Structure 1
C-alpha cells in the first residue's frame, strides 16, 4: 500500500524512520538473538564493531551478553553474502546459503584460479577440516590452517582464508564460540541443530520482506545490492510481498517499509534530536546501495577514506550522519572522541552533551 504522510518527507525523516526500523530508536530489543534475528543479517567482518552494533540495539546490554550469545550459538557468524562476514540467526543460515553460495563462489572463480584452488582442493580441505572438528570439537584458525598445510593445502597468500570461506559457504563449517578475540571453527551440523528449509523463490521473498521491515524505508535496488540477489528475482519477490508493506515516494523514488513504521508519518516520527555513536560497518549506513539519504555525498570519503572499503565509526544526529568518532585510551578506559564534519563550529552544545551520554554508554557496554 502507499502511505500518505502528514509529516513532510525529507532525507532526515527517512533516516529517522530507518533508525526506528533498525531498533536504534525506540524500545530496541531484549536480547542479542532478538536483535540479529530482526535485522536478518548484520555485517560483521570487524568483530568488535559487530558486537557494539548489536549492543546499540539492546538497551542495557554489555559486551559479555553479545559474546555469550555467540558462545551459545544463539547467533552465528559466517559468509552468507557479498563475500563478507555477517551475524545471523542460526536457523536462517542454511537456506540463505542455498540462495547465495553458488553465485558467490562463481564470482570468486578468477581469484580462486590465481590461488590455485580447484574443486578437488576444496573437497580435500573439507575432509581435513571435518576430521579436525567433527564430533563437537572446535579449532582456531591457526590450528585449521596447520591441518591444511599438513594435508598439502597451502594457506599462503590468502589461500587459507579463501578455503575457509568456501567451506563455510558450502555449509560444512561455521564460526562458533569465541576464544579471546577470535572465533573457533566448528562443523556446521554439529553447531547448528535446527535449520529451516525454503525453496529459492520462497526464501528470496521472505528475505526481502524481512529486510524491508528491518531496514526500510529502502528500495528493491538496495536489497539486491545488499543480498547479492539479482534484481529480476528481487522484483518478482516484491510482487508477492508488497501487500504486507507500505510505500512512500521521495524525489521520484519509491521506498518500502513496514506499515507500523509508516504509521509514524501520521503520529510523529521520533528521534529528531537523537544522537548515536555507531560502529564502523553499521547497517544504518552500510545496509543500502544508495546512502545519500543520510550521508551527504561530499562527506562520503570521510567515512570510507579513499574508497578502501573500511567504514569508520559514525555520529548520527536526527537521522543524518554528521561526523565520525574515534576511540583513544586513558589508562584502561576507552575515550570516545568526536570528529564532526563541521570542523569549524563542531557539535552544537545539545549534540555534544548527547554524544557524551553515548560515550558513557559505550564505556558501560565495554565494562571500562
Structure 2
C-alpha cells in the first residue's frame, strides 16, 4: 500500500507540530533545524508551532549556546541545536566539496587542512573580514597563490564549510546585521548518516530526492547511507503519489491533521524540507510557484489553513505598530477572521510588535 499526498502531509505534520516539548531547546530538537535566511524566520517558525514563544526566549537560547546559527547545507543559514548543527556540518563538507575543490584548486594541501586551520583561527569570534584575510594568508602560505579572496564567492569559502557558528555583531538576533563567526564548540562526532536520520525524524517520510535536496549531497551518497540506516534502524518504504519511493522510520508518530490557521515564516520547513516536486504534500503546484520566486529566490511567508499552504501574509516595515495583510488563493478555504486571533497574537509575541489592522483578500493564481 502506497502513500497519498495527504498521507505524506499528515505524517510530516506530526513531526513539525508535536505536542510534547515545553522548552525552546526541546521544541527545536523536535522539529529540526530551521532555515534562517531571514533572521526572523526561526522565531516565527517556533511561534507558529508553539504559540507564545517569544524572541526573548530564542535570544536567551542563542546567547547561552543552547541554540546556534550558521552557514551550512546548500550554502544556507540554519538555526539548530549544537548536535543538529554538527550533523548539518558533516553534510555540508560532503555536499559542498566539489564546489570548494573547483574554486580553490588546491594542489599542495587538502580541504581538510584548510577547514582545520579555519577552525583553529576561529576559536575566538572573528568578523567576515578577518576570516577572508585568514583565507588569503593561508592560501598564499600553503598554495603560493590566491584566486578567490576579494570575490563574493570567495568570502563564503572563509566561513561556509559548516564548522563555524555565527552571531550578530550588534547583539540583535532578530535583525539582519553583520555577523561574526566562531568554531562550533565540541559536541558530538557526526556524519552524513546522522543528517539523513535527522531529516527523517523531523520531516519524514522522504524520498531520496527530498533527502538529497535538503542535505545538499548527491543521490549516490544518499543511497549509500539509506542502505546502512535501513539495516541499523529498520527503515520502511512505500511508493508515493509521484511514483517515487518514500522512506520512513519504523516507528513514526501517528499521522496528524491540523485544523485552523498558522502564519509561517519565509523558507519554512514545510516547503524547504523537500525537493520541489515533493512539496505537493502541503500545497498545489501553482500555489508553490506563486510563493517561491525563481527570479530572486525569495519566498513569500506562507499562510497555512487546515494543514495546507493556501496563501501568504505580509506585515511589512520595521515599525513596532504595523498592519497585517493576509491573502488566500482562489479555490481554497477562506480563513475566518476569528481564526486569525491566535496566529496574530503568536506573531506579535514573536516579533515584539502590535498588529494594528488585519486585511483579508483573495488572489487568483
Find the residue that maps to 2:300 and give its secondary structure: coil
Change (3 A) 1:222 1:346: closer
Which residue of the partner structure matches residue 165 of structure 2? 174
Distance 2:309 2:261 in 1: 10
TM-score by length of 1: 0.75
Question: How far does residue 99 in structure 1 lie from its aligned partner after superposition?
Answer: 4.5
Alignment of 1:11-160 (within 5 A): 11-22=5-16, 24=17, 26-27=18-19, 29-94=21-86, 96-110=88-102, 134=123, 136=124, 138-141=125-128, 156-158=150-152
Q: 285, 296, 300: which is aligned to 1:297?
A: 285
- The verdict on how the C-alpha distance between 1:99 and 1:367 changes in structure 2, with shifts beyond 3 A counting, is closer
Is the Cα–Cα contact under 8 Å of residues 126 and 182 in structure 2 kept in the other structure? Answer: no
1:45-82 Cα offsets, whole Å, 9 max, x none, are 22211332233334421011112211111122223311
Root-mean-square deviation (CA, aligned residues, Å) is 3.8
Note the C-alpha offset of 1:298: 1.6
Cα distance between partner residues in 1 of 2:286 and 2:91:
36
Match in the other structure for 1:281: 267
What's 1:335 paired with?
A: 323
Say if 1:184 and 1:217 are closer, same or farther in 2 by CA, change over 3 A. same
Distance 1:148 1:253 in 2: 42
Q: How many residues get paired? A: 336
Deviation of the 1:92 alpha carbon? 4.4
Contact 1:55 1:66 in 2 (8 A): no
Structure 2 unpaired stretches of 5+: 141-145, 354-365
Q: Larger deviation: 251-260 or 70-79?
A: 251-260
Provide TM-score, normalisation by structure 2. 0.76
Residue 285 of structure 1 and its aligned partner are, at CA, apart by: 0.9
State the secondary structure of the residue aligned to 1:308. Answer: coil
The answer for the alignment partner of 1:363 in structure 2 is 348
State the match for 1:164 in structure 2.
Answer: 158
Match of 2:245 in 1: 254
Residues 156 and 296 of structure 1, relative CA distance in 2, 3 Å threshold: same
Deviates more, 1:47-56 or 1:274-283: 47-56
1:279 Cα deviation after fit: 0.3
Q: 3-state SS of the aligned residue for 2:155? A: helix
Q: Deviations over 1:209-262 (max 9, x none)?
A: 221121012212211221122323322332343454454544344333345545
1:326 aligns with 2:311: no
Secondary structure of the 1:305 match is: coil
Q: Find the aligned partners of 2:273 and 2:111 in 1 and give their Cα distance.
A: 34
Query: Any idea what the Cα deviations from partners look like across 1:84-121, whole Å, max 9, x if unmatched?
Result: 122232234445434431541422455568xx9x9799
Match of 1:354 in 2: 339
Cα 1:126/1:261, change in 2 over 3 Å: closer
Q: Deviations over 1:309-348 (max 9, x none)?
A: 2122001122221011111359522433112122xx8852
Q: Distance in 2 between matches of 1:283 and 1:218?
A: 13
Q: Distance in 1 between matches of 2:71 and 2:323?
A: 32
